Amino acid sequence: MTERELFWHMYGLVMGTDVTYKQVDSDLDEEGDVTIFFSGLKAEEESDDLVLSGYEKGYLTAFYDTTVFQHMCNVCDEDWFSIQIGARMFDLNAWADEETGDFVCVAYECFLNDRGEWSTNTNKQWFLKEGQS
């Protein structure tokens, strides 16, 4: 079983349960041993870091590299992008740093609001790309 297959199997087990508020991640080493990581609610509440699996980080990074970066190079100084990975929806805010000109990109998770529309939760974030100092 590959790491990706394991992730989707674990995701299927916890989808739609109270465990959806916890993040599950796994690591498959060269010998084929699997390590499963669970991060609890308390740690998530104390941090402003958006908790993502390795697969989600890789997917968001690939989306940045293939879509966001190209758009930013050709079009504007700031923009928002949405992407869904499995059952989770994310908004990415990308902009050019005024001092350095480097691109910065931050991912936020979205949640369905009472009207059934996606809303961006900016309380937790993950920096895909940080401007250089």
Predicted confidence (pLDDT) per residue in 119-128, tens digit: 999 999 999 8
Determine the pLDDT at residue 120: 94
Question: How many Å apart are CA 111 and CA 117, to the nearest integer?
Answer: 8
pTM: 0.63
Question: How many Å apart are CA 13 and CA 39, to the nearest integer?
Answer: 16
Q: Which two tokens stand for residue 76?
A: 């504007």
Determine the pLDDT at residue 42: 40
Number of C-beta neighbours around residue 89 at 10 A: 17
The whole-chain average pLDDT of the chain stands at 76
How many degrees, rounded to 5, is the angle at CA 98 between CA 94 and CA 71?
35
Q: How many residues does the chain have?
A: 133
Determine the pLDDT at residue 48: 80
The pLDDT-based confidence of 133 (bands split at 50, 70, 90) is: very low
Q: Which two tokens stand for residue 98?
A: 């005024």
